[in-house]
Structure 1
Amino acid sequence: MLTSSPRLAHEAGRPAASFDTVAARPWPADEPFARDLLAAFTRRPRSISPKWFYDAEGSRLFDRICELPEYYPTRTERAILQAHAREMADVIGPGAELVEFGAGSCDKVRLILDELREPRCFRPVDISAAHLQAAAAGLRRDYPGLDVQPLAADYTQRLLLPAPEPGVRRVGFFPGSTIGNFTPEEALAFLRGAAELLRGGGLLLGVDLVKDPQRLHAAYNDRQGVTAAFNLNLLARANRELGTRFDLSAFDHYAFYEPRLQRIEMHLVSRCRQDVRLGGTAVEIEEGETLHTESSHKYTLDGLGALALQAGFRPGPAWLDEERWFCVQWLAAPAAAL
């Protein structure tokens, strides 16, 4: 666990903070976010899934992150898609059903849709229902002949989709290196589930590659502080939805590259000792303690290929930028069950 932050040295001796977090309504113990937040603050080391970043405000902030000059993944992946979308569409084939995992704004998929031949339907899947519905409405407007069927769901869990029509190839699209947010075990579990869901088709997967740590550090510590706001929005969301009263000024955003694990780690660091109450549970947070909110694993091509094979896929063509910072890889799924 992290025990300090570069911004905490001048805070030594700062008095403890105590925040009365009596909810505006009873603590919703059965809600998944409330349950996960309570678990995150009552275990060691403290950590929570990054999926809880993505309420409407978190999705808006992430869209801003994607436009930042330091944040290379979005523009690099976009350039790869723009340069090779026709080749990718040829690999996908005509008349396909396209499923996008973590669809968000459904922005990058447009580059693929523009080149696909007579796609049967498009199923964007995202945990943020409001953001998803807005994106789906935009797609229906801009692609009037496309059957858009959004699904508000946690795509890390087993998805219940109707079986593809006879002869229709189901293909997945998972851009943005979102798979990097998974632990190696979670990444393998997701890919195994995707391989089963996409039998007879395949997966077009965007992956961030191992590179200069300084470039990685800059990408997650932007000068405008948008990534910091995105990180802190996790607690702001708890205030809005769960009735907590976290003082956001009592936490710092902290992100760094861990080369041994080949991943960026993102944390919220407590700037002072705090006493927090989540429903009926009192939580003590010491100065310098952290809540680990996200990991972003970076891959080598060999490592990605080995993971795909272990999950049941067969690695196919890979498209990279000139700097070899990012990769979009085609993974062929197992044959459809008879």
Structure 2
Amino acid sequence: MNDNDVGGGSDGALTRAEHLLDVHRPREALRAVAAELARDPQNVTALGLAARAELDLKEPRRARELATRAAAAQPHAEYPLRLLALSLHALGRFTDACEAAQAAVANAPNVWQTHYTLAYVSAGTPGMDSVAREAARRAVELAPLEAETHAVMGQVAVEQGDQTTAENALREALRLNPNLAMARNDLGRLHLLRKDHFGAAGHFAHAAADDVRMDVAQHNIDAALAMAVGRVVFWVCVAVFILGRFAVKDESDGAVGFGYAMLAVLVALVIWQAVLIVPAARGGLGTYLRMLPHRDRLMTATVGLLVLGMTALMVMCVVPPDSRLWPLMVGVPAVLGSRLLLELRARELQKAEGG
């Protein structure tokens, strides 16, 4: 969302602050507006710039206070109300955020940014599906060449499970602006709905690279990879439970056959994951995966144990039945250990998501 319409009357310091915000330097922007706010605490332009800076700094409480002051000083303006809506949304006060955004729309019904903000804050809010869809539609209608309007339509559609509309809108947003992190992140969420975890992680990696401030994209990469690893662990456990227990019965004539059947399942799992991960790894996900041992040691250990377990189980499948116990004793604990570490990683992600 490009909030460059901060109102007239800006002196040199305020103009500089706006430029600093455009290049993602919010702390310097705050310093630039401090003198103006000290001189005139009700300067709506300065309050708006300061609120934007606080939002960029992940300080929604301060942003809300500044936006509230700006809205009180200029009650018929739409911009302070948009900032207030975004601040309330960041605080988790979704109903209040929707009310502020609706007030902004009432003040400026022909400004696309007001409808964009209403769609953004109402997406996923219980009971606001029709409001979100109509706001997104109106934003696109007013500004069809703005990538952000199509992106918010895609976001609303993802929240409502409308995958066709979501993909069309997000693809159009990325056609207009290939570096729009918001659209790329929501395209990743769409791939998650389709159970394409590696494809989703690839889009999240692109989003994180396009906007380093987008913490949610980084979190989503971790979550998508955890889901992908969890899927492999699940199927390995199923294979061991169904086929493995027969493959270790050396007195059984079918032990060799069960061993090869289990080997076929494990090899199929490896091929399946390779087919999914190679296209994603050619993009932004490849860089992330190369950094994984330095960035996420718990997930690295999880993958390492899973690889060890699958390798041991494959060895078990090809050795004579009377020699299969030792590979099994390595493989099963390794797979179960990877499952335990994966659960710990999932709890970390849940804690991070909860703030």
TM-score when normalising by structure 2: 0.23
The structure richer in strand per residue is: 1
Larger radius of gyration: 2
- Taking CA–CA contacts closer than 8 Å with sequence separation of 6 or more, which of the two structures ends up with the larger relative contact order? 1
TM-score when normalising by structure 1: 0.24
The structure richer in helix per residue is: 2
